[in-house]
Structure formats: C-alpha cells, structure tokens
C-alpha cells in the first residue's frame, strides 16, 4: 500500500530544543493524524487535523495540515526526555477506509 514520506528519519536533540518534522504524500488527504509510539507499545494519537491550512496545538505540540493537502507538519517546543519515541503521521481520504502511515521519525532527546 501507499506509504507517506516522513522526514527526518531520526533526530538527536538536546533537551529544551524545538523539533520539527514533516510528512509528504503524492496523494491528497482529507485527514491527517499524528501519533507517538513508545517502544513495545501501540501508537498514541497526538493530534488530528481535518481542514487544509488548519493549525492545531496540544500542549507543546503543534501540527499543521498543509494547504496543498499533500503534507503535514509537527512541531514540538521545548523538548523534554519523555518526548523520546517514534512519531508517525497518517493520512486518510474519506473515499476509502484505510489510513496510510508515514515511515516514522525517531526522536532522541539528550538530557
């Protein structure tokens, strides 16, 4: 199935720094979701976006639905050690049933 391109693949940052990652697709989506996965656990939904141009925040996390509807961005401000994990984007088109997942961004926060 289709897989979304996520970048960067991995990040190593100092605690307190801001983080940016993005997700791109060759197809248009109506919904973008961002998840965080800790080792050995299932992904946890962070933010859901439903409209092109939408900017939504959840605490220190901010995500944007790209205007072209082919991309989305996730920013984490003032990173802390518990932000460590793998972040996945997922796109959904209402004409279909399934979600397409990104390749993941592995985040390491150095105290």
- The contact set with other proteins (CB under 8 A) reads 1, 3, 30-31, 33, 35, 40-45, 48, 50, 88, 90, 92, 94, 97-99, 101-104, 106
Q: What is the strand order of the sheet 55-58 is part of?
A: 5-7, 19-24, 71-76, 61-65, 55-58
Least spacing, CB of residue 80 vs other proteins, in Å: 23
Taking the least distance from each CB to other proteins, the nearer of 77 and 103 is 103
Least spacing, CB of residue 102 vs other proteins, in Å: 7
Taking the least distance from each CB to other proteins, the nearer of 5 and 77 is 5
Taking the least distance from each CB to other proteins, the nearer of 37 and 77 is 37
Taking the least distance from each CB to other proteins, the nearer of 13 and 48 is 48
- C-alpha distances (whole Å) from 25 to each of 2, 30, 56, 79, 95 are 9, 12, 20, 27, 16
What are 35's strand-pairing partners? 45, 88
Angle at 41 between CA 36 and CA 46, to 5 degrees: 25
């Amino acid at each position: 199935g289709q897989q979304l391109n996520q970048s960067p693949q991995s990040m190593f940052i100092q605690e307190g720094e801001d983080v940016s990652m993005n997700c791109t697709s060759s197809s248009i989506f109506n919904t973008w979701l961002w998840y965080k996965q800790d080792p050995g656990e299932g992904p946890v939904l962070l933010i859901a976006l439903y409209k092109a141009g939408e900017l939504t925040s959840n605490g220190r996390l901010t995500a944007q639905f790209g205007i072209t509807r082919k991309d989305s961005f996730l920013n984490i401000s003032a990173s802390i050690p518990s932000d460590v994990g793998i972040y996945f984007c997922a796109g959904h088109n209402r004409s279909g049933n399934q979600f397409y997942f990104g390749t993941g961004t592995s985040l390491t926060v150095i105290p």
